[in-house]
Amino acid sequence: MDITMERSVFRKDLLNGKTAIVTGASRGIGAAIAHRLCEAGANVVICSRSADTITQVAGTLQGKGHTVHAMVADISEKTDVEALIEKTISQFSQIDILVNNAGITRDMLLMRLKDEDWDAVLQTNLTGTMYCTRAVLRPMIRQKSGRIINISSVIGLMGNAGQASYAAAKAGIIGLTKATAKEVGTRGITVNAVAPGFITTDMTAQISEQSQKQLLELIPLRGFGHPEDVADAVCFLASDAARYITGQILQVDGGMVM
């Protein structure tokens, strides 16, 4: 996994002393987010269902001198989430930043979509995000501060044929973001979402060349984004620079959805 792209616009001490959790951090956007938060000075706990890949990402970041701990956790399982939160607090005594990035796809036309595939996508992408968010609220409320950043998608805003389950889950994350922001705003906690457009990851690499050309026509900036573009947005929302921003959806999509 290449997470070596060096172009951070943030101060190295921007998040010094902060502790962050990033779910689904074994590759792509999640790994880039972990990298950016580390660069900004945070202690970062990363998790994934894959022991090999999450350990590899942690090793790469530790090799750069960052404080990173890897955990194997399936966020669709409440007990895994509880263990993740407990271990983080045990290790660092606090949780300042939660980035809900983990997600899966089971793309299929709705009329052919199996119940179990619908359930899997909603359970991981939406319910898993809820599990993680709910689990960090008590410690964040106790410390009277916190940043929760949920990774949604432009698909949750515009829909897409063959992605009914994914669109429903990502749209649900937007609703969850806004409702939670209203619940905890008086406690010093902000809750925002980032909605990436088409980003160069393993997923988009599977799109045919013809389809990629058609997609580019829909993007005013005429290019796909990079995982670091999303990571920069997350780092901003995690910082004090975004202290007066909550309940918002920040689109990182090259102008695709306006």
Q: What positions carry a catalytic annotation?
A: 166
| Residue burial 196-216, b: 16+ Cβ < 10 Å; e: rest | bbbbebeebeeeeeeeeeeee
d(CA 178, CA 180): 6
Residue 16: CB atoms within 10 Å: 11
User: What order do you get walking across the sheet with 249-252 strand by strand?
Assistant: 68-72, 43-48, 19-23, 97-100, 146-151, 189-196, 249-252
Helices (H), 24-114: 28-39, 51-63, 78-92
d(CA 126, CA 123): 6
**One-letter amino acid for residue 185 of the chain:** G
For residue 217, what are the CA distances in angstroms to 155, 213, 221, 250?
17, 7, 9, 22
d(CA 217, CA 59): 39
Q: Residues 145, 214: contact at Cβ < 8 Å?
A: no
The distance of Cα 5 from the centroid of its chain, to the nearest Å, equals: 18
d(CA 31, CA 252): 17
**One-letter amino acid for residue 182 of the chain:** K
